[in-house]
Amino acid sequence: MRITKLFSKTRKDSPKDETSKNAQLLIKSGYIHKELAGVYTYLPLGLRVINKISNIIREEMDNAGGQEILMTVLQDKNIWEKSKRWDDNAVDDWFKTRLKNNTELGLGFTHEEPLVNLMKNHINSYKDLPIYPYQIQTKFRNELRAKSGIMRGREFLMKDMYSFSKNKEEHNLFYEKMKEVYMSIFNQLGLGDKTYTTISSGGSFSKYSYEFQTVSDAGEDIIYIIDQEKKLAINEDDFNEETLKDFGLNLNKETLRSEKSIEVGDIYSLGYRYSKALNLKYTNEKGLDEFVYMGCYGIGISRLMGAIVELNSDDKGLVWPREVSPFDIHLISLSKTENYANKIYDELVKRGFSVLFDDRQDTTTGVKFNDADLIGIPKQIIIGEKRIKNNEVEIKDRKTQEIKIISVDSLYDLL
Amino acid sequence: MRITKLFSKTRKDSPKDETSKNAQLLIKSGYIHKELAGVYTYLPLGLRVINKISNIIREEMDNAGGQEILMTVLQDKNIWEKSKRWDDNAVDDWFKTRLKNNTELGLGFTHEEPLVNLMKNHINSYKDLPIYPYQIQTKFRNELRAKSGIMRGREFLMKDMYSFSKNKEEHNLFYEKMKEVYMSIFNQLGLGDKTYTTISSGGSFSKYSYEFQTVSDAGEDIIYIIDQEKKLAINEDDFNEETLKDFGLNLNKETLRSEKSIEVGDIYSLGYRYSKALNLKYTNEKGLDEFVYMGCYGIGISRLMGAIVELNSDDKGLVWPREVSPFDIHLISLSKTENYANKIYDELVKRGFSVLFDDRQDTTTGVKFNDADLIGIPKQIIIGEKRIKNNEVEIKDRKTQEIKIISVDSLYDLL
């Protein structure tokens, strides 16, 4: 894509109404736009990152046996009353609205209830289980405060998978597998080194669950590292004698390293909590009715994008990991090198690279370099007047700022 | 995908609470689930169709110079008050909600206001124009009644593009181009023969606009065909002396054919309506400030899916056009042909076909045939015990029900 065609512009200054680094940088560099506190529009560059993250997750979900669906924002009060989660005293971050006839509706913050209700039409026999529907969909949470940019949105994009199993044993196999699937996702997103599978409380049904926590000063949680090599941690909130005993751990808080961290995912065993509330049963091999055993597996996609920004930036701007960068290459044409740069652009596109091409004619070299570092695509190729006389170009690594001079002939091999 | 893994099930009977053919058939065949009147979840098969339609539209938008973004559902009252579209008397189908601090928010039914507001950060000079942002996003309209299935949802998926041009002349060039782009989309979706570019009233700014109307008994509109060959029509509501005069048409209502039709898209010249309300200006070549000239271009994606169903079904079920079918091929294995069918399934997938494979062991031939016709994938391949002795399979055309017996060797060439 040519920058002269891209409508988003970088800014000189960070927005003053943002306190989080992720929102400041993403707005400054033209990736997102703030509509309201905790409510952000994704501009062309931002949507490309969101799609890259989504596709990595989608592929892992499909490989794990997931089936993608798309549920609705609007929620039926009757269904949520069955699980006693309609009341604002039970769930304190509902957004609610009304039909013309005054019927109250909710805006989905999660989808256990409607999915269980839906599954009553599709689960009859043990032969129908296990199944793993998932979606990548917009969720709504009426947060009292929204100060963490896209990491804690009032409207945000989430991947939520739900498992429907015959019993606890079948569930546990998948639950354990998902721990690995999740770590594989964080590895692919360049967050693996800093992300810990973290023992946490279990919520409404099971005693414990696992969170995935990425170490960052921007995090709102605190974790204690149990095993650096195995990437195992425990949430500060659950560091108590009972938990340690239940997991057979003999640990001393004083000797462990604690870190601030961002919760980038969580997996819950739901057990019979929702299948009982909404009466979701199947007929087992003996012809008897049993409740379905459930789990849920969430990842905040916009939050992940925020976490990646928090961990990958410097004073010049963003530094995307290759896997989620909006483009593979940032191609910069300096003065009077337009024709030469055009040829290289066409050749790169022909070879399947996605390229952001700074083809601006009326912009100084300094502005182009600053914008490239701000936008943060990992590889920059600079076409300068002097170099092209020797058929050479510069390749600059965004992160290290290291520049290599190479011949155009070897450019395509090197990439 | 193997049917034994697909969680959605077909039903014997149509749902009794649906009056529209599209919702009845799509629920019966396991493509969608009704959450509330006018609010539908897309199950795996349904989402595949939605994605096919979206990708055809996305490609056309990108080719036309569009830049994809993703705006938000939650809407800021302050922005909409500037255009006087916040008040429920001005827009009667708003859904509204509230933050914890009681601030009123809207749920987006369209996005002119927030996009114009956003563009104030990105449009400065004539060099920034024209630009064409678009999105594929969920919209909300608080319809009093929702009786047309997915054709008139309270929550629905829409592609909305907006054009920002320097002046009316530049706008008109793009507006005319979009008429062709839209017809190209409807042609690709298999609706071209029955879709008419239709003269209609212009809404809030310009006197006239164009709708794209697909002839169907399920439609809520009535059009008069002006030119069958050029696929030009006029909406009944605008068939009056003034309109005819403005378009230089000399027509007599009595001699024209009228048809019921579904509005599948519309394109509006918005002029300065929103740029003036929200003060979106650019500096022209002479250094003077001018308002930006706008247009908008909508297509209801879920409505299109509904329209395709209304036009492509028979008493056995759905009949998808190839381009939007959830799978290329419905492969049916009959009794004791499992191994043989498995090989063909693997080979088809290897060759890049998407295949729904009915690998059920405990299901009668009759049920398999009925399900295949109900689900409506255009090509069925039937692997029967007798035929495979001669290395033959049957290919059945869903629409014509015509069956050809061919050798397995020629199968892949034929497809």
pLDDT digits (tens, 9 = 90+) for A317-357: 999 999 999 999 999 999 777 888 999 999 999 999 999 99
Question: Is the residue at B357 inside a domain?
Answer: yes
Contact A383, A334 (CB under 8 A): yes
Mean pLDDT of chain B: 95
Which residue in chain B is spatially nearest to A96 when comparing CA positions?
A: B97
Confidence at residue A360, expressed as pLDDT on a 0 to 100 scale? 94
Task: Calculate mean pLDDT across residues B293-316.
Answer: 97
Residue A9 lies in a domain: no
Backbone dihedral angles phi then psi of residue B354, each to the nearest 5 degrees: -95, 130
In a shared domain, residues B43 and B136: yes
Q: Does A314 touch chain B (CB under 8 A)?
A: no
- The residue among A285, A314, A343 that closes a domain is A314
- CA-based nearest residue to A362, from A3, A1, A31: A3
Domain boundary among B251, B282, B314: B314
**pLDDT classification of A147: cutoffs 50, 70, 90:** confident
Rounded to whole angstroms, how far apart are CA atoms B185 and B208? Answer: 22
SS3 assignment, position A301: helix
Tell me if residue B355 falls in helix, strand or coil.
strand
Q: Is B133 on the interface with A (CB under 8 A)?
A: yes
B123 in any annotated domain? yes
Q: What is the pLDDT of residues A239-285, one digit of tens each?
A: 999 999 999 998 888 899 999 999 999 999 999 999 999 999 999 99
**What does the alpha-carbon distance between residue B136 and residue A51 come to, in Å, rounded to a whole number?**
13
Measured distance CA(B151)–CA(A274) in Å, rounded: 32
A78: how many CB neighbours lie within 10 A of its CB? 12
A46 contacts in B (CB within 8 Å)? Answer: 70
Would the CB atoms of A72 and B39 count as touching at under 8 Å? yes
Domain span including residue A380: 327-414
A153-169 mean pLDDT: 98
Q: Are residues B292 and B407 in the same domain?
A: no
Which residues sit opposite A375 in a β-bridge? none
Please tell me whether residues A270 and A391 are part of one structural domain. Answer: no
Q: How many CB atoms lie within 10 A of CB B191?
A: 24
With a CB-CB cutoff of 8 Å, which residues 20-49 of chain B face chain A? 30, 33, 35-36, 39-44, 46-47
pLDDT tens, B381-395?
Answer: 999 988 888 899 999
Q: Residue A208 class from Cβ within 10 Å (0-12 exposed, 13-18 middle, 19+ buried)?
A: middle
- A239 and A333: one domain? no
Residue of B35, B89, B327 best to disrupt the A interface, most CBs of A under 10 A: B35
| Encoded tokens for A125 | 């026999």
Place of tokens 């009759």: B366
DSSP code for A227: E
Looking at residue B164, its amino acid is F
Residue A305 has a pLDDT of 98
Domain end (from B314, B342, B361): B314
Supply the pLDDT for residue B212. Answer: 98
- Residues A73-101: what's their mean pLDDT? 97
Q: Which of residues 154-173 of B touch A (CB under 8 A)?
A: 154-155
Residue B75: pLDDT band by 50, 70, 90 thresholds?
Answer: very high
Residues with Cβ within 8 Å of residue B114, at least 6 apart in sequence? A35, A41, B71, B72, B75, B76, B79, B108
Mean pLDDT computed over B184-206 = 91
Contact A74 B155 (CB under 8 A): yes
Same domain, B404 and B284: no
CA closest to A121 among chain B residues: B9
- Structurally, chain A folds into a number of domains equal to 2
CB contact under 8 A, A72 and B7: no
Q: Quick check: is A51 in a domain?
A: yes
Instruction: Find the CB nearest A35 among B74, B98, B99.
Output: B74
Q: Are residues B310 and B332 in the same domain?
A: no
Instruction: Based on the fold, state whether residues A136 and A255 are members of the same structural domain.
Output: yes
Closest CA–CA distance from residue A388 to any residue of chain B (Å): 29
Is B345 a domain residue?
yes
Q: CB-CB: which of A11, A41, A155 is closest to B69? A: A41
Structure confidence at residue B57 (pLDDT): 98
B122 at A interface, C-beta within 8 A: yes
Using alpha carbons, select from A375, A380, A386 the residue that is nearest to residue A355. Answer: A380
How far apart are the C-alpha atoms of A280 and B382, rounded to whole Å? 35
Q: Do B121 and A11 touch (CB under 8 A)?
A: yes
**Residue A180 C-beta-side C-alpha neighbours within 13 Å:** 7
> How close, in Å, is residue B41 to chain A by CA atoms?
4
Number of residues in chain B = 415
Residues of B in contact with A41 (CB under 8 A): 69-72, 114, 118
The CATH number of residue A161's host domain is 3.30.930.10
Q: What is the mean pLDDT of chain A?
A: 95
Q: What is the mean pLDDT of residues A200-207?
A: 78
β-bridge mates for residue A106, sequence order: A75, A96
Identify whether residues B137 and B187 lie together within a single domain. Answer: yes
Chain A hits for B11, Cβ within 8 Å = 121
- Across the beta sheet with A74-76, the strand order is A74-76, A104-107, A95-98
Nearest chain A CA: its distance from B69 CA (Å)? 5
> What is the per-residue pLDDT across B27-60, written as a single tens digit (0 to 9) for each?
999 999 999 999 999 999 999 999 999 999 999 9
Instruction: Report the residue of chain A nearest B31, measured CA to CA.
Output: A69
Q: Which residues does A134 contact at the CB level (< 8 Å), separation at least 6?
A: A61, A66, A67, A68, A69, A159, A160, A161, A162, A297
Query: Is a pLDDT exceeding 90 seen at residue B192?
Result: yes
Question: Alpha carbon of A358 to those of A196, A257, A327, A367: distances in Å?
Answer: 39, 45, 12, 11
Selected for mutation to probe chain A from B10, B43, B141 (highest A CB count within 10 Å) is: B43
Which residues 326-385 in chain B show a CB within 8 A of chain A?
362
Size of the A and B interface in Cβ pairs below 8 Å: 145
Q: What band does A206 get if pLDDT is binned at 50, 70 and 90?
A: confident
Tell me whether residue B16 is in a domain. no
- Pair (A238, A381) in one structural domain: no
Ranges A368-377, B9-18, B249-258, most confident: A368-377
Q: Which residue has the tokens 């319809």?
A: B143
**CATH (domain of B341):** 3.40.50.800
Closest-CA residue in chain A for B36? A76
Measured between alpha carbons, how far is B384 from B393 in angstroms, rounded to an integer?
7
Contact between A228 and A193 (Cβ < 8 Å)? no
Which chain A residues are within 8 Å of B73, Cβ to Cβ?
A: 73, 107, 138, 140, 155
Among A209-223, B89-103, B191-205, which stretch is predicted with the lowest mean pLDDT?
A: B191-205
Average confidence (pLDDT) over B1-19 = 94
Dist CA A108 CA B107 (whole Å): 13
Q: Clarify whether residues A305 and A353 are in a common domain.
A: no
CB B367 within 8 A of CB B334: no
Q: How far apart are CA A102 and CA B32, in angstroms?
A: 26
Residue A124: its chain B contacts at CB < 8 A? 9
Same domain for B61 and B39, yes or no, is: yes
Contact A33 B65 (CB under 8 A): no
Asked if B50 contacts B300 with a C-beta cutoff of 8 angstroms, the reply is: no
Picking from A262, A250, A212, the residue whose alpha carbon sits closest to that of residue A232 is A212
**Whether B106 contacts chain A with CB within 8 A:** no
**Cβ distance of B123 and A7 shorter than 8 Å:** yes
Position B11 in a domain? no
Residue A204 has pLDDT above 70, yes or no: no
Q: Indicate if A219 and A272 belong to the same structural domain.
A: yes
Query: Cα distance from A85 to chain B (closest Cα, Å)?
Result: 17
**Which uninterrupted H or E stretch holds A234?**
strand A232-235
Residues ≥6 apart with Cβ < 8 Å to B411: B344, B381, B393, B395
Question: In the structure encoding, which two tokens stand for residue A220, read together?
Answer: 């709102």
The answer as to whether A10 is a domain residue is no
Of A7, A70, A127, the CB nearest to B67: A7
Distance, in angstroms, between B309 CA and closest chain A CA?
19
**Per-residue pLDDT band at B412 (split at 50, 70, 90):** confident
**The residue count for chain A:** 415
Which tokens hold the place of B154?
């309270």
CA dist list (Å): B177 to A68, A201, B133, B182, B319? 35, 58, 16, 9, 31
In this prediction, residue B204 carries a pLDDT of: 63
Tell me which residue in A47, A67, A95 faces B7 most closely, judged by beta carbons.
Answer: A67
